Amino acid sequence: MFKIGEFSKLSQVPVKTLRYYDEIDLLKPARVDISTGYRYYSAEQLFQLNRILALKDLGLSLAQIGELLDGELPAEQIRGILRMQQAEVRGRVKEEQALLFAFCRCARGSEHSA
């Protein structure tokens, strides 16, 4: 068992975030000491936290992640969420590519005027 500070260092997730995840029932500590209120996490919870972080990196909301981990979302809805996230990322990539193209055009134009 790890105290919240130790778990925070191992996972590289701020203590404040771990407390918030506890508050919203996303990642509850394995044990809470009744007399001190200290939160303790198990090594197995590192895997659960990494899953949460990976899903968050994919753009899922904490509410969606909670439903996903609780098994409340049907497989088709999960696929739909992931497809929407994929489309959103494609849109951002397209915007960034257009911006890069504009920079390249400006750079070429400034070479001729120098």
How many other β-carbons are positioned within 10 Å of the β-carbon of residue 59? 14
Domain count of the chain?
Answer: 2
Confidence of residue 42 (pLDDT cuts 50, 70, 90): very high
The residue segments making up the domain with residue 87 are 74-114
pLDDT digits (tens, 9 = 90+) for 47-97: 999 999 998 988 888 998 998 888 777 878 878 888 888 898 899 999 999
Q: Residue 43 in contact with residue 7, Cβ under 8 Å?
A: no
Considering the domain architecture, whether residues 17 and 45 belong to the same structural domain is answered as: yes
Structure tokens at 85: 């996230």
Strand residue runs (E) in 1-114: 2-3, 31-32, 39-41
- Give the model confidence (pLDDT) of 15-31 as tens digits: 999 999 999 999 999 99
* CATH classification of the domain holding 59: 1.10.1660.10
Name all contacts of 28-33 with Cβ < 8 Å and 24+ positions apart. 29/4, 30/1, 31/1
| Statement to judge: residues 49 and 6 lie in one domain | yes
pLDDT of residue 30: 95
